[in-house]
Structure 1
Amino acid sequence: MDMDKTEKNQEKFTCGEFEYQVIRSARKTMTLEVRRDGNVIVRAPLRTGLPRIKKFVNQKQEWVLGCLERTKEYREQKPLSADLSESKRNVYIRKAKETITKRVSYFARLMGVSYRNITIREQKTRWGSCSSEKNLNFNWKLILAPPEVLDYVVVHELCHLKEMNHSKAFWDEVGKVMPEYETYKLWLKENGWKL
């Protein structure tokens, strides 16, 4: 019975050059996700009308096409950091430091928060952290992720300067800056290990 219910909540539609799947569930917001295998998924609340979903996808069309282009490039490569030589790895670490520093500076101004130091590390299980002394740490492998995912981790850590927890208030802060953050959070959960 449950299987049937789930199936009914999955529909496929086309927007321009890509096809997308709609999955309705008991949720409050609509999100759009482009998977690394090239599948495009819209997650929507149960009662959301189709015209609203189509309008939502239409507005994000350029972003989706950009993501699909990157996923194609990703699929043509093998796991990204596994075979990097020491010198290549150092190039990426320098690039990560430069890019992340710029994005932290940009979002900190936007959010009206201040921080002390930024450290770039290689961590097995963490993408970023924020200490009570306002020091920020980031994993250099974020430079291998789509730019929106890197931005999500930056915003996530900066929001800890306002809320040092993962309460509803914290996620509300993240949502103010990046309403579609759930898409990037899920991307990291599903694809982070491949970086």
Structure 2
Amino acid sequence: MDFSKFSYEVIHRKIKYSRLEFTSGRLQVILPQGQSEIPLLTKYQKWIESKYNYINQCKGDAKNLTLQERTDSDFKYLIQKLVNRISDELQVKINKFFFRKMKTKWASISSHNNITFNTIMSKLPEELMEYIVYHEVVHILERKHNNKFWDIIRKRYEEPSKHESQLLAYWFAMSSC
């Protein structure tokens, strides 16, 4: 395989196992000290090509997106409304929720059931904001992204991959601003 057609970064760390990560559309090859990236890239060639194609599709979709404009107070009110409705629906309790700018995530949930929302979510359509809130609240029922988690998500969203693709496209749209 000609790896020169793919942009990637090699990072050597004090780790035991190699891994591949796509961070904001860029491939990172994370390796134990002194290990070559070629065997890993060769082994996962088809997966890498598939991911690059997916990312490029989302980047193309990003060019046609319109970002929403909301005031900070409108955004926070909408999130509060969504959190209350979805937590009631799933019969779970959210401890607190916060807002801050994050570099790599739309939102995250702590072990204490506190949710932090990325402030750039304010530029998303309400439907995608609702998906993110639902996704995070489901993590109270199932912490990991395993089959049980995705089964719960699919009860409300038949094809979560469509929402995930839209979110990635919006991420690229916002990154280019």
TM-score (norm. length: structure 1) = 0.53
> How much has 1:163 moved relative to structure 2?
0.6
Counterparts of 1:110 and 1:36, CA distance in 2: 32
Match 1:141 to one of 116, 120, 144: 120
**Alignment partner of 1:179 is 2:158:** yes
Structure 1 runs (4+) greater than 4 angstroms displaced: 35-38
Aligned-residue CA RMSD (Å): 2.4
Counterparts of 1:118 and 1:133, CA distance in 2: 11
> How much has 1:129 moved relative to structure 2?
0.5
Task: Please give the secondary structure, in 2, of the residue aligned with 1:120.
Answer: strand
Deviations 1:106-154 (CA, angstroms, capped at 9, x unpaired): 1111111111101011111110001110101111211211111111100
Contact residue 106 and residue 118 of structure 2 kept, 8 A: yes
Task: Please give the secondary structure, in 2, of the residue aligned with 1:138.
Answer: strand
Identity of matched residues, %: 27
Q: How is 1:64-75 mapped onto 2 (pairs within 5 angstroms)?
A: 71=65, 74=66
For 1:107, give the aligned amino acid: I
Contact residue 138 and residue 153 of structure 2 kept, 8 A: yes
| Structure-1 residue corresponding to 2:83 | 104
Match 1:118 to one of 97, 104, 118: 97
**Alignment partner of 1:168 is 2:141:** no
**Alignment partner of 1:132 is 2:111:** yes
Deviations 1:145-187 (CA, angstroms, capped at 9, x unpaired): 1111111100110010001111111111111122232211111
- Consecutive unaligned residues of structure 2, counting only runs of 5 or more, are 1-60
> How much has 1:37 moved relative to structure 2?
5.7
| Structure-1 residue corresponding to 2:129 | 150
Task: Please give the secondary structure, in 2, of the residue aligned with 1:133.
Answer: coil
- Consecutive unaligned residues of structure 1, counting only runs of 5 or more, are 1-34, 39-70, 75-79, 82-87
Task: Please give the secondary structure, in 2, of the residue aligned with 1:113.
Answer: coil
For 2:129, give the aligned amino acid: L
Contact residue 63 and residue 173 of structure 2 kept, 8 A: no
> How much has 1:36 moved relative to structure 2?
5.3
Counterparts of 1:188 and 1:166, CA distance in 2: 17
Task: Please give the secondary structure, in 2, of the residue aligned with 1:161.
Answer: helix
